[in-house]
Structure 1
């Protein structure tokens, strides 16, 4: 018999699994990766811990992984993540590079070979910390014209941007975001280039995603990784023996009926009991844009209100999400002036009477994580 989880149970499970109760280690979250976009990683940690909010001070390593975006990962898992991040065949590589069929034919080089060629060039060029521009220029000189692109913003020809990003982490090239200019860093001492990625190694991405953003299906995992469900199917199949299928009721409590929509989804088998018995999320948190909670690809489940969902997921300039008692109840934006920070809130539902007291404490955490002093909140 397949167990059924309500939408409220799914939200409660994700909140607990991601450490938003501040009561557990963040190992699973770090394994998936913390996206590093502006202050996102610091604020994501402030929402989950009373301790250090600097991911680098916690010893995490930074590099381009999922979708070519920068993420922080545990150094001890770097080699395994690098192998998982390496496209395992041409279909997977082409999907991660966003190459259409005509584009692949125009290039004339198999997509996975293209990634390997760019990776070889990066290893040859990045022998010391250097700017992205310098690394890109060096790699461009080593690649065939088919892998280069005209770049209008910089007015030159250089290596395809997504190819450049996806080729770095599989060979140990990381990022140093601590200075005024982002630097690419050579492989760490003792690094051994991982064997070619394969579907079995990529299966860890399925488990990493489902541990903190499950239950979900193959389409959601593939979208998070930055590939297509069809191309990523071998990795999903490799992970499937360790998963358990559940039914997820999509609508919220106010919409419950005998015809309530359900969808198939999966969890790691050893997480099922935790999902069925997830604690009630009696908490308030400021989630930054690109927070792990907001990275879930089943966005209608996360935010059923369409207007709120559109506001949360803009093309540019996303706001943060205000999480209260298991629901996203609005958005927030920071406004810094000198050393002071004001948080502008836009709730979309009536808030509980005790919300203000809990809100103020969390707002102080946001300011502290940004090294600023809280001037106040507006909108509530």
Structure 2
């Protein structure tokens, strides 16, 4: 049995995430097997590409027809390869009612109040979304329209909006099932029917969802069912009993069992040395691994990377998440502030400042100021 240590696993993940910049075609980056999470105001997806592509020129996903933005995993906005989105949609339908409850973050009392099984709640919302969103609509317009079509129990009073509307997470999970995408690069969030709108799935594509779990293990492995479940927003039991891939190999990480797809064992056994410096944006695919204790062993340091709101970016240096970075702008000036959590040498700092120039270019600034704290 293959015995591993933390440094070897991190080196494997850095390589599997394409952070060595060996691939110049974004469609071939393995991170799009799961999708790349976006935050439009902070250009998160474009910054994730800047950390992976060898070009110094900013790459935009907004007008690239090869990619489509959708509320997918956990209801978060992700860019997916356009050619794969139709096959992914049935995999976004939960496996059963317990899985639906977990993904909605609902308690049973809410489903009891709805008067129907949890999966029926989701499909009812999807059918209403499909009927309501027939053209381009802002999220607010779509929410108002669909709220009129769903049973009252599927809506709630929203204090910030001072209005009654469909549950937020229910709307997000139902939207892709209804064949609706997000319009990239637009604020506020705007919805639009897919050009070739597939039918609303009536059953989960277990085989396709299992492939999502396998893709998680390829990028973030070796791992356990609970960690893959965290990425999906599901439960450990659902993944372990319904969605666990068959072609896995058991390995040992610091003496504890973990699993990896068989086709990744050779790469895991002998990963390249991660002698690189990269700036990862908040929500970068590398940071989506659910075993955060492995990524950042120090508890105090972990709190610096993953906050309740407003996560910073992560400074990856020579195989470790060695610090954080934040930005601010004033007029034409763009400022990047680094906070070291692990000691960096002069060369690593210089490389980080070169990466900061890439961030500034993606955000559209030429005048850069770097601050170390």
Alignment TM-score, normalising by the size of structure 2: 0.94
Matches within 5 A, 1:29-44: 29-37=31-39, 38-44=42-48
The structure 2 residue matched to 1:302, chosen from 295, 312, 319, is 295
Whole-Å separation in 1 of the counterparts to 2:356 and 2:184: 25
Whole-Å separation in 1 of the counterparts to 2:368 and 2:208: 48
- Is 1:55 aligned to 2:61, yes or no? yes
- Is 1:355 aligned to 2:348, yes or no? yes
Contact 2:282 2:313 survives alignment (8 Å): yes
- Is 1:273 aligned to 2:275, yes or no? no
The structure 1 residue matched to 2:308, chosen from 295, 304, 315, is 315
Whole-Å separation in 2 of the counterparts to 1:231 and 1:145: 29
- Is 1:222 aligned to 2:229, yes or no? yes
The structure 1 residue matched to 2:167, chosen from 160, 173, 177, is 160
Contact 1:95 1:231 survives alignment (8 Å): no
Whole-Å separation in 2 of the counterparts to 1:361 and 1:226: 36
Query: How far is 1:363 from its partner?
Result: 1.3
Contact 2:18 2:29 survives alignment (8 Å): no
Whole-Å separation in 2 of the counterparts to 1:132 and 1:190: 19
Whole-Å separation in 2 of the counterparts to 1:376 and 1:190: 46
Counterpart in the other structure of 2:191: 184
Whole-Å separation in 2 of the counterparts to 1:204 and 1:307: 35
Q: Which runs of 5+ in 2 are unaligned?
A: none
Query: How far is 1:158 from its partner?
Result: 1.1
Whole-Å separation in 1 of the counterparts to 2:263 and 2:187: 43
Matches within 5 A, 1:1-380: 2-24=1-23, 26-37=28-39, 38-51=42-55, 53-58=59-64, 59-189=66-196, 191-194=198-201, 196-237=203-244, 239=245, 241-249=246-254, 262-379=255-372
Whole-Å separation in 1 of the counterparts to 2:206 and 2:107: 22
SS of the residue 1:278 aligns to? coil
Contact 1:89 1:198 survives alignment (8 Å): no
Query: How far is 1:190 from its partner?
Result: 5.7
The CA RMSD measured in Å over matched residues stands at 1.6
Query: How far is 1:107 from its partner?
Result: 2.2
Whole-Å separation in 1 of the counterparts to 2:12 and 2:299: 23
Whole-Å separation in 2 of the counterparts to 1:35 and 1:70: 6
Whole-Å separation in 2 of the counterparts to 1:278 and 1:236: 28
Whole-Å separation in 2 of the counterparts to 1:33 and 1:177: 14
Residues 374/10 of structure 1: CA separation in 2 closer, same or farther (3 Å cut): farther
Whole-Å separation in 2 of the counterparts to 1:27 and 1:48: 8
Whole-Å separation in 2 of the counterparts to 1:104 and 1:222: 21
Query: How far is 1:305 from its partner?
Result: 1.4
Alignment TM-score, normalising by the size of structure 1: 0.92
Whole-Å separation in 2 of the counterparts to 1:296 and 1:82: 22
Whole-Å separation in 2 of the counterparts to 1:274 and 1:247: 15
Contact 2:17 2:29 survives alignment (8 Å): no
Whole-Å separation in 2 of the counterparts to 1:362 and 1:235: 42
SS of the residue 2:346 aligns to? coil
Residues 166/361 of structure 1: CA separation in 2 closer, same or farther (3 Å cut): same
Whole-Å separation in 1 of the counterparts to 2:337 and 2:29: 32
Query: How far is 1:290 from its partner?
Result: 0.7
Contact 1:66 1:85 survives alignment (8 Å): yes
Query: How far is 1:374 from its partner?
Result: 4.3
Query: How far is 1:189 from its partner?
Result: 2.8
